[in-house]
Structures are given as structure tokens and as C-alpha cells.
Structure 1
């Protein structure tokens, strides 16, 4: 089969389309013929070697953890899914023609493979950080870097739970944030005052890692009410970094429920052929995403 692999840490140019042996489903797993794979910031962070000390990997390594496809192998002990089912979920080395998933759910009716591949990791992350920051219905959550995949999910989950969201993003994404139910403003000079004019901030999420933790603490008045998924800096501020993944099966179930109720939709900003994974990583790292980027297999 064809898959994306890298044999050394580095920039997007280390990614190669190679021939590899097909993986097979073990106990508690399913294998899918991948139709689309989600592109997540964690993918290029791993490729760059940012996690090599805390999450060692053996090189050469495959890439990717999110996928949508057609089940073609069912592992021992697996129930409730059959060969031919259309599923989306989390696995390993998903930038490939075949991948093994450890968590999955049937795709909701009307969802394309490309759309489905964009949901697993961002939905798990969104649910986790909302829980960790402790924001409650009736309160206001500030989301820095709100237009990407995780931000898009956070805005819609929060709205469904009765939480007001103030979102910051670039000028081109202001209407997009408003369409998702957020009070929108741009980042850049004067952004703190613009946020204050929109209302009180009870909790805040840093999704972009753009060096705004001090301002988020200032706006909330409490570092315990700020959670980041992208900024390792400023440990003295008392801000929490969320890195430990929660329950993917629960996240997939919540995604299915919200999508089926018409309460969640994360658009695919751009889809790339599998062979153009390097371009997808370069674009993802550049930021300013609206929704998701995926690879088409």
C-alpha cells in the first residue's frame, strides 16, 4: 500500500510517499480502507520532533491519527461493526491507503468522508478543554484562535450548552465566527480592549499559541481559568497546559449526536491528495485556518 512516512525529524520536506506493508486489525480494532485523513497540528509537531523527549517514536514512522473510511477487517472481540460500514475515528499512521483504528463510530447520514475525517481529534480536544477550564452555562468563554478546527468545535459545543463565546481570529474570519454563534473580534494591537467591550470573561482558551497567556490571565483575573493547548511558555503564570487526551469514544459519540441534531458542522477548508501531505503540513503550520484540512486517499 501507499503511505506517508518520515525517516528523520524536520520540515515538511522529510515526508515521503512510500510503499509499505498493510497493517491488520488486532483485538479490539478495525481496519479501514482510508478515504480521507485529518491533518492536525500534532501531526507536524511530531514530525518536527517537538515531542521526541516525552513521546519517543521509532523512525521511520507513519503520520496521522484521524481517518474516515470503509471497514474491511474486524478484530477479535469487536462487536457492533461490520465489513463495509462507513466509520470515522482515531488510529495510527492514517495518512495511508489502509489504517487500523482503535476508536471509531459510524458516520452520521449525509456526512462525507472528507468532512468526517476532520472531526475526531478536534472534537476530543474541544470537549476536554471546555471541561478543564470549568466554564458553565450562562458564563462567557474567550477563545483565542477560534476559527480553526478545535475552535470551530468549541464554539458550537459551547453554544449548545448555553455558554457565551467571544472568539478572536483574523479579519477574514470574523463573519465565520459570527455564523457559529460567537461574539467576534480581531487579534492584534488593542485586542484586549476590544474583548472587554464585548463583555466579561469568565474563562479563556488559548488554541493558537500566539503568546497571549498574560493577557488571558488579565482578562479572566485567575490563571486557573485559562487553559492552553498550544503554548508551553510562561509556566510561572499558573496557566494549565492541556495535553493528556480524554475519551475518544465519548468524543465520537458526542460528535455524532450533535451532527445528527444539526448543531455541529466543521467545514473542510482544503483537501489535498495524499501525495501532497507536505503542502498540507506547511499550510497547517502557517495557521489562519477556517475549519479543517484533510488528505484524500
Structure 2
């Protein structure tokens, strides 16, 4: 056996198990789900129906409501989370700030809390007689208690607040890591040239963080399109379908309503479609190569 073949054999011996596991637990289920999306029926009694499931999407009021709600979360929450994470990371990167480690830990801590636990806590905090309404009414910030969980508008706001609270620290860590790799002499040179704080932020910090901002934008988009736990545990998609997401609708189709796994797989591939399209758009807008 030649040296090249030996090296190839050694290399494959290291990765063959990982390749097999990825194919078995990722790609095979994806292909099976795609095949399943062309079938329909109750339970496991499925029949091939071609593109009927995909045609059904356009006349499914519940699905269209779930798509609308999901994109509201995406459009409102993702920019807020990215901007807030970027702002906090710049503040925590200040060398003169004391107790930076404590602040970083506190802001990142929500990311490692249980999804179910924090969702339940938010449900109690924003209840009609919860702590949030108690504080707002006590300090006369609102004339009466807000129906956070039963009003369609305020229920969406509650979900957005919950997601932002949990995931802002996640993006902050990426920005902070990138900022710490920026040579401080760049900022010192900018100060000598007369650049103020805002000019340094927009002319130095933002361009230097461009790849990280693109990365967090894509991961935040994917996470928001797949949002499930918060909605399931805080509002259960209510009132009505005012806060329902695509992922929750998939769950309902599979386990809550009469099981229709074929149609559920079809809705699942809608998420895949949206993720691919939005990722491509973000690469085009932000640029997928260094300028």
C-alpha cells in the first residue's frame, strides 16, 4: 500500500464514525421527512398524495397565521437582540469598567437556564396579577393591569421580551470575544485623528465585527424561525392563534390534533425553505467575503 493510501486510510479511520453518525441521524431523517411530506393520512396510515400537502399550505388559515406570527417575532426581535447585544458588548469591553466578569456572567446566565423553567417564570411574572403588573400599577405607569397573556398584541410583546432576555447574552459573548481581539492601537490612532466615540463605533467597531454580526444574524434567524418552547409554555399559542409559531403548529399536527405526519413534515420543510432563503439574503446584504 502506498504512503498516500495509508494516509487516506488513517484519515478516514478518524472520521468514519462521525460521518456515519451524521448520515444516520441527520441526513437520513431529512430525506425521510422530505419523502413523508408527499404523503398524507392519519397516524401511520399514509398514502402518496404528490404535491397536495404543499398546495394545502396556501389555504390553511392556521398555518398562515403561524407564519405571520413567526415573521413578526423575526422582524422585531432579531434586530433588537443584535443591536442590544452589540451595545452591551461595547460597554463591557471598556477597560476602565470594574466588575466586568460579574456583569458578563449575569448577562450570559439566561442562556444556560432551562427553557421550560424560564418560560414558566415569565408566565407567572406577566400574569394578570403577576409582579410586572403589580409594579406598573403601583408606580402609576399604567392605569390598570395589562392583559399580557390574553391580549393578542401584548401576548406577542411578552414572547418578544422573553426571547430577547434569554438570547441577547448569547450574541453579546461573540461580539465581546471579537472586540477583545481588536488592537487597541486602532482606537488610539482614531482618537488622535479626532474621531469621537460614535465615529469610532460606526467606522471601526462595526466594520471589524461584520463577520460576527453576519453569523449572529443567521443563527438568530434560524433560532427564531424554530421558536417553540417559549410559546408552548407561556401562551400555548393563544389567545386563539395570536402567538402560534410554525414549530408549535408542527407539534400540534403531530401530537395534539389527529396525527397527520405527512402534512407536519411539509410544514417542517417550509422552515427549511425560509432559513435557506433568509440566509442567502443575509449573505448578499452583509457580504460573504472580505472587502
Give the TM-score band, short-chain normalised: under 0.3
Q: TM-score normalized by structure 2?
A: 0.20
The structure where helix makes up a greater share of residues is 2
Q: Which has the higher contact order (CA 8 A, sep 6+)?
A: 2
The structure where strand makes up a greater share of residues is 1
Q: TM-score normalized by structure 1?
A: 0.20
Q: Which structure's CA Rg is the greater one? A: 2
